[in-house]
């Protein structure tokens, strides 16, 4: 390769999908960018922008039966035209010199094979190592990516590891053959801020040590300032802006890039509403500021929250498990340990902490979806945990939950109408299905979806739209409390802004109370009146939202805040 030549060069890439077996719909429209040796290029954009499709085209992983790459497209690696290689040569090159880390490790790792077997397979296939040699090298790789007790973990199955550990295994597998280019496709999207920071630092160390180039795909511009030398911003299959990372973050030239930067909540700022992409694009077209959307919440809000009467009072709530370590020995694991708090009517209590801190377990116990080991949950003067199941059925209507994954929480065999009518029928709300269907249509309108959506299935909607349907399903029962369990963590920043604004609107209109569970502290501050910080099942700090962010008292809270990516990289 000539001095100064790019390691990866993509020119006029066009990718089309067959929508009905014959018709081709182009989804990537003439994309061009390059990655220099030992550099990091961030490919940024919302879901559907063409980021992952472009990366899969580089790897040769697009299904040939349903996709087509334009005749003028070019993907050159180290001067070689990848699109001209046969399948065998492409597989050998992409296995050794180009590697890819996928977004969801649980979908990428085989659940019935140990992690050692899966990493060893890469080494035997591409480097010709014997089994014993591959196992020894696998141990070294697991230690290099920071897996504690690698000698034990090598024989673990993916399901026995945390999300952060699974992602480290994926990284170990990707670097096993010492590639020159590493493609990381949203590798930190669903991880806690501290685990995310660890993965980013690990990739940076590996890149420096192995002199790799990295193509980092993300929808979060907050990460870009930490990791990238260059940025490529994509939307709807087009490149909207490219340039040095700091230039793009601090002085974006394209209105879409400015819109992405403004959608994200920023620690220390409390806007009344978050701008969404359409707001910002319209504002730019009309050359007017976004003053109404950025109006700051009055500072006395936290004080009002402290004096509001409680709707939910939780005292000494606990959940303990007995874990068998040997056939003759067990130990007690305290998932939630002596947690107490109150939630006022019309207010939001944010619950933050890393995975394993007990946040989700706490939310599930409030709805009796998990039995508690001890404590009480007083709701409107009654202990929800002590009442008989038949009596609790009436209270179940008044406290509902929005789960993290809208793809898994909606029945794929039901239409939206069936999804919304089911709870109405179970709780005998409405005299007949005609009335219930009218209620369902009103609820869809309330969450910003048309009545025509009633006859469609969940797979026909985007992630943000599915989350709106999940919220509408909760609202069918006219609840007083919503438990939002990581309900926006997997969404793009623009879609996240829309859902957060929707939750704010519903709270103001219906007087809802929220228990807002998240590992994203910037989002929690925006949504919450009070914030409760959990670590290893215990509450380590509770304070009004603004006070906690200004003056965190506990070292763990300070560590969580310090791990937030650089959201200060935001244009004026």
Q: What is the pLDDT of residues 414-457, one digit of tens each?
A: 999 999 999 999 888 888 999 999 999 999 988 888 899 999 99
User: What is residue 449's predicted lDDT score, i.e. its pLDDT?
Assistant: 87
What are 49's two structure tokens?
A: 């922008």
Q: What are phi and psi of 242, to 5 degrees?
A: -135, 155
Which of 466, 495, 27, 11 minimizes the C-alpha distance to 235?
27
Does residue 461 belong to any structural domain of this protein? yes
3-state secondary structure of 245: helix
Cβ within 8 Å of residue 258, ≥6 positions away: 252, 280, 284, 571
Containing structural domain, residue 411 = 403-476
Does residue 442 belong to any structural domain of this protein? yes
Number of Cβ within 10 Å of residue 159's Cβ equals 10
Max CA pair span of the chain: 77
User: What is residue 567's predicted lDDT score, i.e. its pLDDT?
Assistant: 40
Q: For residue 172, what is the enclosing H or E element?
A: helix 163-175
Q: What is the DSSP letter of 20?
A: S
What are the pLDDT digits (tens) for 528-558? 999 999 999 999 999 999 899 889 999 999 9
| DSSP bridge partners of 91 | none
What are 511's two structure tokens?
A: 């007087």
Does residue 469 belong to any structural domain of this protein? yes
User: What is residue 387's predicted lDDT score, i.e. its pLDDT?
Assistant: 92
For residue 291, count CB atoms less than 10 angstroms from its CB and return exposed for 0-12, middle for 13-18, buried for 19 or more.
Answer: exposed
- Tell me, rounded to whole angstroms, the distance of Cα 266 from its chain centroid: 17
What are the pLDDT digits (tens) for 304-331? 555 667 899 999 999 998 877 666 777 8
Where do the DSSP E strands lie in 290-436?
A: 310-326, 329-344, 348-352, 374-379, 382-383, 399-402
Does residue 132 belong to any structural domain of this protein? no
What are 554's two structure tokens?
A: 């506990």
* Phi-psi map region of 354: left, alpha, beta (phi>0 left; psi -120 to 50 alpha): beta
**C-alpha distances in Å from residue 332, one per residue of 175, 322, 339, 355, 547:** 38, 5, 17, 19, 35
State how beta strands 348-352 and 399-402 pair.
unpaired
Q: How far apart are CA 88 and CA 376, in angstroms?
A: 63
User: What is residue 300's predicted lDDT score, i.e. its pLDDT?
Assistant: 45
**C-alpha distances in Å from residue 265, one per residue of 221, 396, 444, 549:** 12, 32, 26, 13
Q: Please give the tally of structural domains in the chain.
A: 1
User: What is residue 454's predicted lDDT score, i.e. its pLDDT?
Assistant: 93
The 10 Å CB-count burial string (b at 16+, else e) for 96-120 is: bbbbbbbbbbeebbeeeebbbbbbb
**Least confident span in 314-323, 361-370, 419-428, 563-572:** 563-572
**Least confident span in 120-134, 198-212, 481-495:** 481-495
Does residue 237 belong to any structural domain of this protein? no
pTM over 0.75: yes
Cβ within 8 Å of residue 291, ≥6 positions away: none
**C-alpha distances in Å from residue 156, one per residue of 26, 141, 151, 356, 503:** 42, 15, 10, 19, 40
User: What is residue 194's predicted lDDT score, i.e. its pLDDT?
Assistant: 77
11 or 162: which leads in pLDDT: 11
Does residue 147 belong to any structural domain of this protein? no
Question: Is residue 137 predicted with pLDDT exceeding 50?
Answer: yes
Q: For residue 468, what is the enclosing H or E element?
A: helix 463-475
3-state secondary structure of 315: strand
Residue with token string 């609202």: 475
- State the Cα angle at 429 between 424 and 434, rounded to 5°: 80
**C-alpha distances in Å from residue 126, one per residue of 81, 120, 173, 222, 361:** 21, 10, 12, 36, 43
Does residue 429 belong to any structural domain of this protein? yes
Task: Identify the sign of the CA torsion 225, 497, 232, 206.
Answer: positive
Query: What is the torsion angle, in degrees rounded to the nearest 10, for the CA atoms of residue 522, residue 528, residue 530 and residue 532?
Result: -50
Number of Cβ within 10 Å of residue 372's Cβ equals 22
Average pLDDT over residues 462-488: 88
Cβ within 8 Å of residue 326, ≥6 positions away: none
Q: How far apart are CA 147 and CA 168, in angstroms?
A: 7
Does residue 323 belong to any structural domain of this protein? no
Q: How far apart are CA 429 and CA 495, in angstroms?
A: 31
3-state secondary structure 396-449: HCCEEEECCCHHHHCCCCCCHHHHHHHHHHHCCCCCCHHHHHHHHHHHHHHCCC
State how beta strands 538-544 and 329-344 pair.
unpaired
Q: How far apart are CA 459 and CA 229, in angstroms?
A: 37
What are the pLDDT digits (tens) for 267-297? 667 777 888 887 767 655 544 444 333 334 4
**C-alpha distances in Å from residue 37, one per residue of 34, 102, 180, 211, 443:** 10, 21, 8, 8, 53
Q: How far apart are CA 515 and CA 206, in angstroms?
A: 39
**Average predicted confidence (pLDDT) for the chain:** 86
Q: How far apart are CA 413 and CA 409, in angstroms?
A: 12
User: What is residue 351's predicted lDDT score, i.e. its pLDDT?
Assistant: 95
What are 396's two structure tokens?
A: 């179940």
| DSSP bridge partners of 344 | 310
């Amino acid at each position: 390769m000539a001095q100064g030549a790019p390691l990866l060069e993509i020119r006029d890439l066009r990718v089309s999908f067959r929508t009905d077996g014959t018709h081709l719909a182009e989804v990537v429209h003439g994309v061009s960018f390059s990655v220099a040796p030992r550099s990091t290029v961030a490919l940024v954009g919302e879901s559907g922008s063409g980021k992952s499709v472009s990366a899969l085209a580089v790897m040769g992983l697009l299904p040939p039966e349903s996709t087509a790459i334009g005749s003028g497209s070019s993907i050159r690696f180290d001067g070689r035209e990848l699109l001209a290689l046969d399948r065998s040569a492409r597989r050998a090159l992409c296995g050794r010199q180009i590697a890819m880390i996928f977004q969801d490790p649980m979908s990428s790792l085989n659940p019935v094979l140990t992690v050692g077997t899966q990493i060893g397979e890469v080494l035997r296939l591409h480097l010709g190592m014997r089994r014993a040699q591959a196992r020894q090298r696998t141990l070294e790789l697991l230690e290099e990516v920071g897996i504690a007790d690698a000698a034990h973990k090598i024989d673990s199955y993916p399901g026995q590891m945390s999300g952060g550990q699974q992602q480290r295994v994926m990284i170990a597998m990707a670097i096993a053959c010492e590639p020159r280019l590493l493609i990381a496709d949203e590798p930190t999207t669903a991880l806690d801020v501290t685990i995310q920071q660890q993965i980013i630092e690990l990739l940076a160390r590996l890149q420096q040590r192995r002199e790799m180039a990295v193509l980092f795909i993300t929808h979060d511009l907050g990460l870009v300032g930490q990791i990238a030398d260059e940025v490529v911003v994509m939307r709807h299959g087009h490149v909207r802006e490219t340039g040095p990372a700091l230039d793009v973050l601090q002085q974006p030239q394209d209105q879409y890039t400015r819109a992405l930067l403004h959608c994200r909540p920023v620690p220390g700022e409390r806007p009344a509403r978050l701008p969404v992409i359409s707001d910002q694009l319209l504002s730019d077209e009309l050359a007017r500021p976004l003053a109404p959307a950025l109006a700051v919440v009055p500072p006395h809000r936290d004080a009002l929250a402290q004096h509001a009467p409680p709707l939910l009072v939780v005292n000494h709530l606990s959940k303990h498990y007995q874990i068998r370590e040997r056939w003759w020995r067990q130990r007690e694991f305290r998932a939630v340990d002596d947690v107490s708090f109150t939630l006022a009517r019309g207010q939001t209590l944010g619950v933050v902490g890393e995975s394993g801190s007990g946040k989700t377990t706490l939310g599930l116990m409030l709805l009796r979806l998990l039995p508690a080991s001890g404590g009480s949950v007083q709701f409107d003067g009654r202990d929800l945990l002590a009442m008989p199941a038949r009596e609790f059925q009436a209270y179940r209507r008044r406290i509902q939950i929005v789960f993290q994954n809208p793809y898994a929480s909606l029945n794929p065999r039901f239409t939206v109408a069936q999804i919304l009518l089911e709870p109405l029928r179970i709780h005998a709300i409405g005299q007949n299905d005609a009335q219930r269907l009218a209620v369902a249509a009103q609820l869809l309108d309330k969450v910003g979806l048309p009545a025509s959506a009633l006859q469609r299935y969940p797979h026909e909607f985007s992630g943000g739209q599915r989350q709106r349907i999940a919220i509408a399903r909760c609202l069918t029962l006219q609840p007083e409390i919503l438990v939002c369990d990581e309900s926006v963590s997997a969404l793009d920043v623009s879609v996240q802004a829309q859902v957060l604004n929707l939750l704010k609107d519903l709270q103001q209109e219906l007087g809802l109370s929220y228990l807002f569970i998240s590992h994203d502290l910037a989002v929690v501050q925006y949504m919450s009146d009070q914030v409760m910080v959990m670590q290893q099942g215990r509450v380590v700090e509770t304070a009004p939202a603004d006070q906690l962010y200004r003056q965190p008292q506990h070292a763990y809270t300070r560590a969580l805040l310090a791990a937030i990516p650089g959201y200060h990289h935001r244009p004026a």
